[in-house]
Amino acid sequence: MPRPTIFDVAKVAGVSIKTVSRVVNREPNVRTSTRERVEEAIAVLKYRPDQSARNLASHRSHLIGLVYDDPAAYDMPSGGYILDMQQGALKGCRSAFSELLIHPCDFRKKNVGIELKELIEETRPAGIIVAAPLSNMPKIVRAIDATGTPCVRLSPGNDLGKKCSVSTNDREVSAEMTRYLAGLGHTRIAFIKGNPDHKAVANRFLGYQDGLKESGLEFSENLVAEGDNSCGSGEACAEKLLKRKKPPTAIFAANDDMAAGALRVANRMKIDVPGQLSLAGFDDIALARQVEPALTTIRQPLVQMAERAALMLTKNNNGDSNGNAHDIIPAVMKIRESTGRAPE
Amino acid sequence: MPRPTIFDVAKVAGVSIKTVSRVVNREPNVRTSTRERVEEAIAVLKYRPDQSARNLASHRSHLIGLVYDDPAAYDMPSGGYILDMQQGALKGCRSAFSELLIHPCDFRKKNVGIELKELIEETRPAGIIVAAPLSNMPKIVRAIDATGTPCVRLSPGNDLGKKCSVSTNDREVSAEMTRYLAGLGHTRIAFIKGNPDHKAVANRFLGYQDGLKESGLEFSENLVAEGDNSCGSGEACAEKLLKRKKPPTAIFAANDDMAAGALRVANRMKIDVPGQLSLAGFDDIALARQVEPALTTIRQPLVQMAERAALMLTKNNNGDSNGNAHDIIPAVMKIRESTGRAPE
DNA sequence: AATCAGTTTGACAGCGTTGTCAAAACGCGC
DNA sequence: GCGCGTTTTGACAACGCTGTCAAACTGATT
């Protein structure tokens, strides 16, 4: 028994297919009595519109694109967070009967903008979710804007045009982590900054400064090093910091990869963690639990963030009067073995 | 400028739309010269078939499902290999103008079979790629079989029905690694087995035994421990092995997570790697490069494997007379810092 | 040169829906 | 009961592709 079509419904309800279409799409100007008759026929036949035919005729799709930088592309792979995003986006799409199109790309390439433009033109998605660091690149955001496709940035702030965004409270939670370290008695708390392209990572540095101030500690440029988010840069930064005449007793790195690098350095220099040095990261990547000692870090609610983003694109019950919304979902601290009381 | 259609391509190539269709769908009986002309036109116009129209006209979808176990679901996350599979599958799908539907699931759940059956019925994919360990579970393979959907297993062997498969030479390359360790002078080479559900991982154990034999070394149950693929189980196994009266001088773990666990134990026990103990893993996960010392391991060609699988499902020029094929793509050894000459 | 089997190509009718536009029905004021 | 604006409905042509089937073209064999 083949699946019923709009014609079958029309025949049963005694109307034209167009009227059925109107009912299905909740268009106005259908008499209530007619609508009810059609709805009954739909129920009786268990009619479900064919998505392909709908898409074809309406020139719309139910595709949501998820665009992210693929660290595997340049061999700096801590891509666990990508799976979280995918999971969240998938969940959001499912609940809205949409499909998810994943698109990993290399944010360092000159022509990512063009690549995305082509992707959008090829697949015509109903919306795009852009993850950091791509979501912080004006070039990228502009390229997507130019196609007119709705877009949600997984990134803090509303600085880049009127786009919607979903982000976490990087700054606040980083301040919290800093206060936590201060609370353990640390007075020389160093910070390893990340790639400045990455807006969220930059906010973590601001949070660090907030936290120092709130704890009555002085900020010093001598306790700051600038990495590029990679494990290797974390090593370099930690070495620099630990070779100071007055080395820090705690290092807070803007991400876990760099914190892991710092841990390697500590191991090499035979500095006990957390006995002599406390170490904290950010992101809660798999590695954070696998190194010895396990890293204290901060977990972003990426699954929920991506789900939220997908929902913002599939329903349009969100956003302010201008049609944009900026959701913030708070992160949580994960205290593990790498942080402890400051040494004497 | 609207998106090019099959008519545009036909006009540029000077053929009928049907011929373009044949080229796009890789149907036989198109003269090579014609095919080339059409392919050029497709490239020039950047033509991409409209999925909705294709699906509508052909009554099937051009969706390829990629089904895999999501380690994040149970917090044992070394999911980097998933991104590789996705990348490969994506590549294969793109070249066949198909779309990729990703479906992470938890292989430990009782009802994964039902979940997959429902997924297939809802989305009607043209084919399914199943990754290990799901691809080794008869329950799962049978559930997919029952839907009649073509399926390629990313897993060794042709034991489970007539399904197609793509795998790597786990056994041979494991033997090679074992011979390499023996070649460094090690005579007591231990092996940490993985989860027995994972067929490929079991093959690595066989390869280890082959390698011992080929190197003239005796196999001993005392040098074997059984883990479950997790980092934690690697620690437990390594502890057990290293506490033996005659501890091994080399440990080959069936995967990198367990090797990383063994490394943690060595660090804790102040055993120098590779001075006193050589350590080798399998998979070349991100972690392998991030630990200190970096792990010697074996890299599976997952990207190519998944791409191959996608192509097997989108073209149908593969397989033997029974319509099944079993491709093997060789893995490569990555010698890093964690292996060295045996101590005196 | 005619025949035949196979290969290669094209014309055209769908596929199930929405968009357009005109026709029909309705409601209201006279 | 008529005219007029508004609401409701339907006929039919897209949408971009594939399936069917017949026509045209091959080349080997008479």
Residue type, A327: D
Which chain B residues are Cβ-neighbours of A86 within 8 angstroms?
A: 102, 104
CA distance, residue A287 to nearest chain B CA (Å): 7
Residues, chain A: 344
Describe the strand order of the beta sheet including B189-193 as a list of residue ranges: B224-226, B189-193, B250-253, B278-280
Q: What is the DSSP string of A156-176?
A: S-S-STT-EEEE--HHHHHHH
Give A252 or B142, the one with higher predicted confidence: A252
Instruction: Report if CB B316 to strand D is under 7 Å.
Output: no
Instruction: Report if CB B139 to strand D is under 7 Å.
Output: no
C-beta of residue B184 within 8 angstroms of C-beta of residue B165: no
Distance B53 CA to C13 C1' (A): 15
Average pLDDT, chain A: 86
Instruction: Report if CB B16 to strand D is under 7 Å.
Output: no
Q: Is B46 on the interface with A (CB under 8 A)?
A: yes
Q: Search chain B and give the residue with CA nearest A258.
A: B290
**A14-26 confidence digits (pLDDT tens):** 999 999 999 988 8
User: Which bases in strand C are touched by protein, i.e. have an atom under 7 Å from a CB?
Assistant: 7-12, 14-20
Give B147 or A238, the one with higher predicted confidence: A238
pLDDT score recorded for residue A79? 66
Interface of A with B in 148-177 (CB under 8 A): none
When pLDDT is cut at 50, 70 and 90, the band that residue A161 belongs to is low
For residue B25, give the DSSP letter. Answer: T
Give A73 or B113, the one with higher predicted confidence: B113
Show the domains of chain A with their CATH numbers: 6-50 (1.10.260.40), 63-168+302-331 (3.40.50.2300), 170-300 (3.40.50.2300)
Q: Which of A145-149, A334-338, B56-60 has the lowest mean pLDDT?
A: A145-149
Alpha helix segments (H runs only) across chain A: 6-13, 17-24, 32-45, 51-58, 80-95, 112-123, 138-147, 170-183, 199-214, 231-242, 256-268, 286-290, 302-314
Average confidence (pLDDT) per 10 residues, chain B, 344 residues: 89 94 91 93 92 89 87 58 89 84 86 83 82 84 84 74 80 96 96 83 92 95 91 92 94 93 91 93 84 90 91 61 72 94 89
Mutation target among A83, A101, A106, A119 for the B interface, most CBs of B within 10 A: A83
pLDDT score recorded for residue A74? 53
C-beta of residue B72 within 8 angstroms of C-beta of residue B66: no
Which chain A residues are Cβ-neighbours of B264 within 8 angstroms?
A: 290-292
Q: Search chain A and give the residue with CA nearest B49.
A: A122
Q: Is A83 on the interface with B (CB under 8 A)?
A: yes
Distance A14 CA to C24 C1' (A): 16
What are the phi and psi torsion angles at A195 (to 5°)?
Answer: -60, 120
- Please give the radius of gyration of chain B, using alpha carbons only, rounded to the nearest integer: 24
pLDDT score recorded for residue A318? 37
C-beta of residue B10 within 8 angstroms of C-beta of residue B19: yes
Q: Search chain A and give the residue with CA nearest B261.
A: A290
Which nucleotide is the nearest neighbour of A25, by CA and C1'?
C18
pLDDT score recorded for residue B213? 97
* Top-ranked range on mean pLDDT: pick from A75-79, A316-320, B95-99: B95-99
Q: What is the DSSP string of A50-84?
A: -HHHHHHHHT---EEEEEEE-GGGGT---THHHHH
Q: Which of A76-90, A168-182, A261-275, B315-329 has the lowest mean pLDDT?
A: B315-329
pLDDT score recorded for residue A320? 39
B51, B102, B268: residue with CB nearest A292: B268
Q: Is A291 on the interface with B (CB under 8 A)?
A: yes
Residue type, B290: Q
When pLDDT is cut at 50, 70 and 90, the band that residue A137 belongs to is confident
By three-state DSSP, how is residue A292 classified? coil
**A85-133 confidence digits (pLDDT tens):** 999 999 888 776 678 889 888 888 888 888 888 788 777 788 899 987 7
Q: Strand pairing of B189-193 and B99-105?
A: unpaired
pLDDT score recorded for residue B297? 96
pLDDT score recorded for residue B160? 58
Q: What is the DSSP string of B6-24?
A: HHHHHHHHTS-HHHHHHHH
**Residue A51 in this model has a pLDDT that exceeds 90:** no
What are the phi and psi torsion angles at A269 (to 5°)?
Answer: -85, 5
Q: Which of A65-79, A122-136, A267-281 has the lowest mean pLDDT?
A: A65-79
By three-state DSSP, how is residue B127 classified? strand
Instruction: List the structure tokens of B251.
Output: 């440990």
Interface of A with B in 198-227 (CB under 8 A): none
Residue whose Cα is closest to the C1' of C15: B57
Q: Which of A158-162, A249-253, A296-300 has the lowest mean pLDDT?
A: A158-162
* Top-ranked range on mean pLDDT: pick from A289-298, A330-339, B79-88: A330-339
Cis peptide before A293 (omega within 30 of 0): yes
Instruction: List the structure tokens of A119.
Output: 């992707």
Q: Is B78 on the interface with A (CB under 8 A)?
A: yes
Give B169 or A158, the one with higher predicted confidence: B169
Q: Is B50 on the interface with A (CB under 8 A)?
A: yes
CA distance, residue A61 to nearest chain B CA (Å): 9
